[in-house]
Amino acid sequence: MTIEVKADRELGWSRGDTLRTSIAAAVAALLLGTAWFLTATDGEGLGGSNAALMLLVGAGLGILFERGRYCFFCVFRDLFEKRNSRGMYAILVSIAVGMIGYAVIFSTRIPTPTGDNTPSDAHIAPVSIALVIAGLAFGLGMVISGGCIAGHLYRLPEGHLRSLPALGGVVLGFGAGFLSWDFMYSSFIIGAPVPWLPAGNGYTMAVLVQLGVLVGLGWWLLRWNPPVQGRGDRVVDATEVRRLVFFKRWPALMTGAAVGLLAILAYYKDVPLGVTSQISSLTRTGMTEAGMLPHFMPGLDERLAGCVAVVVHTITTNGWLVIGIVLASLAAALPGRRVRLEKTTAFNSITALLGGVLLGWGAMIGLGCTIGVLLSGTHAFALSGWVFGAAVVAAAGLSFRLGLHRRAAPGVFSTLLD
């Protein structure tokens, strides 16, 4: 099977393009101006000295997510519904690049890795049945709601209005997760092993093991990676550059490598990538102040790694990262004419809300989402990242094969941009 490339349409330039590009430039200026302000004030009271950096890292992610379609929902949908594995290579490459960078960082901080000196600032979590349940819930919620949490953050500025009830459901899901945490923690998580591949084996062996798994997956996925017909002779001019930068989907390998590099930078300077910490922390703060939760929660307030929720009263560096993702994805989508309001109904809004609840609950119990647990976890050589990822893939694969995404949002199904 060969993917046939549609003939490129004439781009032209209209008043709408002028308006969209002007807005995008203003958003970019706002991001850079905010970063400058945070640097000048050292982020005092606004997340600290790394606030500006994480805002810019988030902006980079927002651009990559939007232009490279680095969206777990889109990637898994293409794989299971269209039998096209192209997007999967972006995820595999981002894991490969990120884990090599993490190995270098780990080797300078913990020269001799053992089970007793696991890096507490990395996303290395216990492996238990609770993690599997959380991954299954997250995968199902992703399909029903139309995106993972990161996907909703970057697709909302494109006009994907179902992301609003979905993100509202995420907050409710976090709340449900907090309320059920004591049971899940005491029944399944407490005392569960925390496997870390470098412990006792060293970083070189851990890199080789994970690299072998990634190469094996990449080889297996080649069967669903049909060749693309050539586009013929092209002239590299201003129009072609504009087409490639703003209209055509960026190459999967380049996108994945760039995401991996940003993950390394984020961990080296601040914390691992994740998009749930600020949202879950604000949820917990509100529930705690309302008397719905105790001030101390076993496990969460001890040494469990991940996108752990704490009581906060200000924006954190993770919050700036999320802001960067949202604003930069808007700035990236506007020049390519991809900001279009999608049709919503009471039914597909309710399904988005329900899917969001599953996303939030799964992220709370799993201590993060596909970015914080799957991506940052595998970067850190944590078995928890692989287990959570496998559960998400299993649930998403079955859900896509059953067509739950189409049933949850009839008439709203959006195609992947080439």
Over the stretch 149-163, which tens digit does the pLDDT of each residue have? 999 999 999 999 999
Q: Give percent above pLDDT 70 in the chain.
A: 93
Q: What is the pLDDT of residues 175-184, one digit of tens each?
A: 999 999 999 9
Q: How confident is the model at residue 235 (pLDDT cuts 50, 70, 90)?
A: confident
Q: What is the pLDDT of residue 400?
A: 96
Give the lowest-confidence range in 64-68, 295-299, 387-391: 295-299
Q: What is the mean pLDDT of residues 233-249?
A: 87
Q: Are 255 and 68 in contact (CB under 8 A)?
A: yes
Cα dihedral 226, 231, 233, 236 sign: negative
3 state SS of 126: coil
Q: What is the pLDDT of residue 267?
A: 97
CA separation for the pair 312, 378 (Å, rounded) = 28
Most confident of 143-147, 199-203, 410-414: 143-147
Q: Where are the domains of the chain?
A: 15-225+240-408
Sequence-distant (≥ 6) Cβ neighbours of residue 184 within 8 angstroms: 130, 365
Instruction: Compute how many other C-beta atoms are within 10 angstroms of the C-beta atom of residue 156.
Output: 19
Q: What is the pLDDT of residue 301?
A: 83
Angle, CA of 245, 251 and 256, to the nearest 5°: 115
Q: What is the pLDDT of residue 225?
A: 82
Q: How confident is the model at residue 409 (pLDDT cuts 50, 70, 90)?
A: confident
- Whole-model pTM: value is 0.94
Q: How confident is the model at residue 416 (pLDDT cuts 50, 70, 90)?
A: very low
Q: What is the pLDDT of residues 50-105, one digit of tens each?
A: 999 999 999 999 999 999 999 999 999 999 999 999 999 999 999 999 999 999 99
Q: What is the pLDDT of residue 338?
A: 95
Query: By CB neighbour count within 10 A (0-12 exposed, 13-18 middle, 19+ buried), where does 299 fall?
Result: middle
Q: How confident is the model at residue 115 (pLDDT cuts 50, 70, 90)?
A: confident
Beta bridge pairs of residue 3? 228
Residue 286 has pLDDT above 80, yes or no: yes
Q: What is the pLDDT of residue 111?
A: 94
The encoded tokens of residue 174 equal 């976090």
Q: Are 405 and 80 in contact (CB under 8 A)?
A: no
Sequence-distant (≥ 6) Cβ neighbours of residue 253 within 8 angstroms: 89, 90, 93
Q: Are 74 and 87 in contact (CB under 8 A)?
A: yes
Which residue is associated with the tokens 């990120």? 98
- From residue 81, how far is each of 1, 57, 92, 110 by CA, in Å? 15, 32, 19, 43
Which residue is associated with the tokens 């049909």? 226
Q: How confident is the model at residue 116 (pLDDT cuts 50, 70, 90)?
A: confident
Q: What is the pLDDT of residues 340-387, one digit of tens each?
A: 998 899 999 999 999 999 999 999 999 999 999 999 999 999 999 999
Q: What is the pLDDT of residue 227?
A: 74
Mean residue pLDDT of the chain comes to 92
Phi, psi of 113 (to 5 degrees): -75, 130
CA-wise closest residue to 121 among 268, 328, 244: 268
Sequence-distant (≥ 6) Cβ neighbours of residue 403 within 8 angstroms: none
The more confident residue out of 36 and 238 is: 36
Query: Where do the H-state alpha helices sit in 225-380?
Result: 238-242, 252-269, 277-289, 317-333, 346-366, 376-379
The more confident residue out of 209 and 7 is: 209
Q: How confident is the model at residue 303 (pLDDT cuts 50, 70, 90)?
A: low
Q: What is the pLDDT of residues 2-48, one digit of tens each?
A: 444 455 678 889 999 999 999 999 999 999 999 999 999 999 888 89
Q: Are 320 and 312 in contact (CB under 8 A)?
A: no
Instruction: Compute how many other C-beta atoms are within 10 angstroms of the C-beta atom of residue 7.
Output: 8
Beta bridge pairs of residue 228? 3
CA separation for the pair 400, 71 (Å, rounded) = 15
CA-CA-CA-CA torsion for 84, 87, 92, 98, nearest 10 degrees? 180
Q: What is the pLDDT of residue 228?
A: 66
